[in-house]
Amino acid sequence: MVGRAVPHGAGARIVGRVTSVGSAASKYKVGDLAGVGCLVDSCRKCPPCSDGFEQHCEGGMALTYNGTEMDRQTPTYGGYSTQIVVDEGYVVRIPAGLDPPRPRPLLCAGITTYSPLRQANVKPGDRVGVVGLGGLGHMAVKLAASMGAKVTVFSTSRRRRPTRAGSAPSTSW
């Protein structure tokens, strides 16, 4: 695989402290708690990038891990690096009071499931179906329920019913 380091472990959901900022940075300061998802850069010029859909970059986005920076030569090592340089446009602020590991799932499964719920304008009383109750499904149930939706889970595994969906009273099977 060209541009890929093998073997390589994933490390997309990064939460850590800002240790330095560039001269053009204005959103973060040293010491802030920040998070980085699976995307660290894009061309920023094509129509998808201009519309806020950098994950569909026509020039190819730069993944947090097991990819390359936009120069297509410098490898990215993600959360297993001792440090990472990321443009502030690809960083999210993590509230100071949170235990750093706790928000990590939101940087992957969270945004993967939150985005379509928001695009569908889910609101209280809407019905949302979730297929499967793995990592993404569990997050989708929690987020849809927090939006006030009535959630139905479609699953072939009855053993997950009481333990995984118990926190969402609006969930049916």
pLDDT in tens, the chain (173 residues): 445 555 555 667 899 999 999 999 999 999 999 999 888 999 999 999 999 999 899 999 999 888 889 999 998 888 877 888 899 999 999 998 889 888 888 888 888 899 999 999 999 999 999 998 888 998 999 999 999 999 999 888 777 664 444 445 556 76
State the Cα–Cα distance between residues 97 and 99, nearest whole angstrom.
7
Beta bridge pairs of residue 92: 35
Report the helix count and the strand count for the chain, using DSSP H and E: 4, 10
- Burial class, 25, CB count within 10 angstroms (exposed 0-12 / middle 13-18 / buried 19+): middle
Domain ranges for the chain, please list them.
14-103, 110-172
> Which CATH number applies to 14-103?
3.90.180.10
pLDDT of residue 42: 95
State the Cα–Cα distance between residues 126 and 128, nearest whole angstrom.
7
State the Cα–Cα distance between residues 151 and 118, nearest whole angstrom.
15
Q: Minimal CA–CA distance to 17: which of 37, 29, 31?
A: 31
pTM (2 decimals)? 0.74
Homologous superfamily (CATH) for 110-172: NAD(P)-binding Rossmann-like Domain (3.40.50.720)
Distance in Å from the first CA to the final CA of the chain: 42
Q: Do domains 14-103 and 110-172 have the same CATH topology?
A: no
State the Cα–Cα distance between residues 131 and 135, nearest whole angstrom.
11
Q: Minimal CA–CA distance to 39: which of 105, 96, 87, 106?
A: 87
pLDDT of residue 80: 76
pLDDT of residue 156: 83
pLDDT of residue 164: 46
